[in-house]
């Protein structure tokens, strides 16, 4: 298949432009949706429904004064936002935006590069993304950014393990690291009639872990401890201003889009979907549309989370990552590997397989949640009454802030 | 020289440069960053050898996790990061060991593989790699895992000893809060609030 040079170039440009455009619209959509959830209007001045707000904000970022504080480590300080944006852009390379399109006598595959190790590419770049946050925090040479940087890199590394294990079960199940192979493996009929063979169903625990992990990996609420503005000013980006701050924002929103786009080919069948018997001349639109709809669903989920969830406490975040998500993902990877081996050795009847999966899931849920409810962590309460007894009610009870406030007022005079 | 060779040499130079800067930088954090560059360079060396899988695993594991943990350790242990000069006074010895190691390794590698004919580069298949590791080389693999486990436990032991020299281990970091002075104060205040008298009465009483 000999292609003229402009075909891959056009593919690359179209895909990058597509994800950039979605990122821009996402920033606007998030502000609108969160505003609606809070009974506000949100940006509504520039363009219809304020949709050009992002463009104007971007222009504003360019013209703002770009301050470099005197105490920073200049080289690394300048490098950090670039690393974040570049890593964010490069992830897009292996994610498709649709099936194949034939236009002007050329066949376009709507992906920049369908690498044989595409899934690893995603993981590798998200681990490089850690550097951006981490180096920004360190190079700023100031306490809050440092705390934010340490927090977020610990968080990202922890959740990367869980995410990697979730992806591992997908890879084992599909038998390939190539994104297009994983999509193709999900195209047949599922083991329940009428339900597509999307991996979200047989690999549901892995799917769950991946979705939670991607929220943490993108550093989004409720896991946005890297920039907890109530306690860390702005976290790792406190000392940044102008376009370099804008780059951090771009990288964050970009990672929301790319994460939403990654989960679709891995767990939701990629661009597959019914074409409703449309003629071939029009049917090529459908995969693009399906992919878009699935992705937008996840983007919307990100936005709703931001509007609905309070920020997690840091120790709870770490507990969730290490004590819940990693064991679940690990067990499910083992289960998946076992079933793949059984399948290779001859296989079980579909009913037995489903029954076993359900039984395993039930056991897992009982182990995770049943045990916790019946046996609260009495040890830490007994050993450290000051922190658990003092803290938990203070955070949970409404009006506790008033209590603290009166307390301080009474003490001061 | 093919294009592959040129890329290989360039990436190799980058890696070697990173390695040299790692040991010569005075700033510990810069050294850690150059170390990350070196590890990334090794991933780059794998690419012209058509070992894409190894290259990306190298990035995920070493650049993404190990090097970050290094820097993490530097920050959390309050190691002297910054302008203070670090010098172990062992430069001569270190250079001798490194030079010796280089000579021995290169002699061994050239002696073992030097007279093999050059062949077209074809990367290993991923499943071949997996079978090689878990079938032929499973013993070294497991021994390495035990080594890592030992290092992990060692790290935990070292980190724990730091918290309580008196022998009493703290399970949580104590954070001073207003309520800490009296664990029952909060409950009393809340009882006062629910009974309708308000927090002020409680304090004055």
- Residue A338 domain-assigned (yes or no): yes
Residues A264 and A359 in one domain: no
B108 band by pLDDT with thresholds 50, 70 and 90: very high
Same domain for A247 and A295, yes or no, is yes
The reply to whether B142 falls in a domain is no
How is residue A191 written in tokens? 């083991």
Each as own residue / partner, the long-range contacts of residues A11-16 (CB below 8 Å, 24 or more positions apart, any chain) are A11/A108, A11/A109, A11/A110, A11/A111, A11/A112, A12/A93, A12/A112, A14/A97, A14/A108, A14/A110, A15/A92, A15/A93, A15/A95, A15/A97, A15/A110, A15/A111, A15/A112, A16/A89, A16/A92, A16/A112
Band (A394; pLDDT cuts 50, 70, 90): very low
How much of chain A, in percent, has pLDDT values that exceed 70?
80
**Cα A132–A133–A136 angle (5° rounding)?**
80
A41 falls within a domain: no
- The verdict on A200 and A337 lying in the same domain is yes
A412 within some domain = no
In this predicted model, what pLDDT tens digit does every residue of B76-93 receive, in sequence order? 665 555 555 556 677 888
Region of B139 please: left (phi>0), alpha (psi -120 to 50) or beta. alpha
Q: Is B56 on the interface with A (CB under 8 A)?
A: yes
Let me know if residue A398 belongs to a domain: no
For residue B63, the chain A residues in CB contact (below 8 A) are: 124, 127-128
Q: Which residues of B touch A384 (CB under 8 A)?
A: 170-172, 174
**Residues 6+ away with beta carbon under 8 Å from B79:** B28, B73
**Pair (A191, A168) in one structural domain:** yes
CB contact under 8 A, A380 and B69: no
Whether residue A390 is contained in a domain is answered as no
Q: How far apart are CA A137 and CA A152, in angstroms?
A: 10
Q: Quickly state the pLDDT bin for A396 (edges 50, 70, 90).
A: very low
Closest residue in A to B186 (Cα–Cα): A390
* Torsion over CA: B49, B54, B58, B60 (sign): positive
**Residue A109: strand, helix, or coil:** strand
Say if A223 falls within a structural domain. yes
A389 band by pLDDT with thresholds 50, 70 and 90: very low
Cβ count within 10 A of residue A198: 20
Q: Which of A367, A383, A296 is nearest to A331 (CA)?
A: A367
Residue B191 within any structural domain of the chain: no
DSSP state of B178: G
CATH code for the domain of B54: 1.20.120.1200
Which domain range does residue B60 map to?
A: 1-89
Please name the residue of chain A whose CA is at the shortest distance from the CA of residue B51: A117
Q: Is the peptide bond before A222 cis (omega within 30 degrees of 0)?
A: yes
Mean pLDDT on B37-57: 86
Tokens at A226, concatenated: 């890297």
Residue of B172, B177, B185 with shortest CB distance to A384: B172
Residue A247: other Cβ atoms inside 10 A = 23
Residue B44, Cβ density class (10 Å: 0-12 exposed, 13-18 middle, ≥19 buried): buried
C-alpha A108/C-alpha A14 separation (Å) is: 11
**A&B contacts, CB < 8 Å:** 110
- Same structural domain, A314 and A199: yes
> How sure is the predictor about B97, in pLDDT bands with cuts at 50, 70 and 90?
very high
The residue written with tokens 């009639």 in the block is A193
- Beta-bridged to residue B139, according to DSSP, are none
Comparing A88-102, A205-219, A242-256, B124-138, the range with the smallest average pLDDT is A88-102
A4 within 8 A of A106, measured Cβ to Cβ: yes
Q: By CA distance, what is A157's nearest residue in B?
A: B65
Residues A380 and A246 placed together within one structural domain of the fold = no
Query: Is position A406 within any domain?
Result: no
Predicted confidence at residue B197, as pLDDT, reads 45
Q: How many domains does chain B have?
A: 1
Domain that holds residue A253: 67-92+115-273+287-347
Task: Report the SS3 class of residue A103.
Answer: strand
Q: Mutating which of B199, B202, B205 best tests the A interface, going by the most A Cβ atoms within 10 A?
A: B199
Residues of B in contact with A155 (CB under 8 A): none
How far apart are the C-alpha atoms of B126 and A140, rounded to whole Å? Answer: 42
Tell me the chain B residues in contact with residue A389 when contact means C-beta distances shorter than 8 Å: 179, 183, 186
Q: What is the mean pLDDT of residues A308-315?
A: 82
The tally of domains found in chain A comes to 2
Shortest CA gap A383–chain B (Å):
8
CA separation for the pair A412, A58 (Å, rounded): 46
pLDDT at B32: 85
Among chain B residues, the shortest Cα distance to A123 is held by B60
B200 touches chain A (CB under 8 A): yes
Q: How many other β-carbons are positioned within 10 Å of the β-carbon of residue A360?
A: 16
CA distance linking residue A136 with residue A219, whole number of Å: 15
State whether A173 and A146 are in the same domain.
Answer: yes
Structure tokens at B73: 């350790």
Token pair listed for B79: 């190691």
CB contact under 8 A, A124 and B36: no
Report percent pLDDT > 70 for chain B.
Answer: 70
- Do the domain assignments include residue A227? yes
On whether residue B105 sits in a domain, the answer given is no
Phi, psi of A114 (to 5 degrees): -90, 75
Tokens of B83: 């302008």
């Amino acid at each position: 298949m000999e292609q003229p040079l402009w075909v891959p170039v056009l593919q690359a440009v179209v895909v990058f432009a597509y994800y950039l455009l979605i990122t821009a619209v996402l920033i606007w959509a998030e502000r609108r949706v969160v505003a609606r959830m809070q009974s506000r209007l949100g940006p509504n001045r520039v363009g219809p429904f304020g949709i050009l707000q992002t463009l104007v904000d971007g222009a504003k970022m360019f013209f703002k004064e770009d301050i470099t504080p005197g105490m920073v480590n200049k080289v690394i300080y300048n490098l950090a936002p670039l690393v974040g944006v570049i890593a964010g852009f490069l992830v897009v390379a292996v994610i498709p935006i649709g099936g194949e399109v034939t236009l002007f006598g050329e066949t376009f595959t709507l992906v920049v590069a369908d690498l044989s190790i595409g899934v690893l590419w995603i993981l590798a770049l998200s681990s490089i993304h850690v550097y951006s946050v981490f180096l920004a925090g360190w190079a700023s040479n100031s306490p809050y950014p440092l705390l934010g940087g340490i927090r977020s890199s610990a968080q990202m590394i922890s959740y990367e393990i869980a995410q990697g294990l979730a992806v591992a079960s997908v890879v084992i199940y599909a038998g390939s690291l190539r994104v297009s192979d994983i999509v193709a493996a999900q195209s047949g009929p599922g083991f329940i009639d009428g339900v597509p063979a999307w991996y979200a169903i047989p690999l549901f625990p892995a799917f769950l872990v991946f979705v939670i992990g991607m929220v943490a990996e993108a550093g989004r609420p409720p896991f946005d401890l890297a920039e907890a503005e109530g306690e860390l000013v702005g976290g790792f980006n406190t000392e940044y201003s102008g376009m370099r701050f804008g780059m951090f924002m771009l990288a964050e929103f970009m990672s929301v889009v790319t994460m939403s786009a990654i989960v679709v080919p891995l767990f939701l069948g990629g661009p597959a979907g019914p074409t409703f018997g449309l003629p071939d001349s029009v049917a090529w639109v459908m995969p693009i549309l399906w992919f878009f709809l699935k992705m937008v669903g996840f983007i919307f989920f990100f936005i709703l989370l931001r509007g609905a969830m309070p920020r997690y406490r840091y120790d709870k975040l770490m507990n969730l990552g290490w004590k819940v998500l990693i064991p679940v993902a690990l067990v499910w990877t083992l289960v998946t590997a076992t079933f793949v081996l059984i399948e290779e050795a001859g296989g079980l009847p579909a009913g037995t397989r489903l029954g076993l999966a359900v039984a395993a899931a039930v056991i897992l849920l009982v182990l995770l949640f049943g045990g916790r409810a019946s046996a609260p962590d009495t040890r830490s309460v007994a050993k450290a009454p000051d922190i658990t007894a003092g803290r938990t009610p203070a955070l949970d009870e409404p009006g506790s802030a008033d209590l603290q406030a009166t307390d301080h007022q009474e003490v001061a005079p | 020289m093919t294009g592959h060779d040129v890329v290989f040499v360039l990436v190799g130079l980058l890696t070697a440069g990173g390695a040299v800067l790692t040991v010569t930088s005075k700033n510990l954090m810069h050294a850690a960053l150059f170390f990350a560059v070196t590890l990334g360079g090794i991933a780059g060396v794998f690419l012209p050898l058509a070992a894409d899988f190894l290259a990306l695993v190298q990035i995920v594991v070493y650049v993404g996790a190990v090097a970050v943990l290094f820097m993490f350790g530097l920050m959390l242990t309050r190691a002297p990061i910054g302008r203070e000069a670090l010098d172990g006074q062992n430069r001569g010895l270190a250079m001798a060991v490194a030079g010796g190691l280089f000579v021995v390794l290169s002699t061994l590698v050239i002696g073992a593989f030097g007279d093999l004919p050059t062949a077209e580069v074809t990367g290993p298949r991923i499943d071949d790699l997996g079978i090689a590791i878990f079938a032929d080389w499973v013993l070294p693999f497991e021994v390495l895992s035990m080594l890592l486990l030992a290092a992990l436990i060692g790290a935990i032991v070292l980190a724990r000893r730091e918290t309580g020299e008196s022998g009493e281990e703290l399970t949580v970091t104590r954070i001073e809060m207003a309520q800490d002075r009296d664990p029952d104060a909060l409950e009393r205040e809340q009882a006062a609030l629910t009974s309708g008298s308000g927090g002020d009465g409680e304090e004055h009483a």
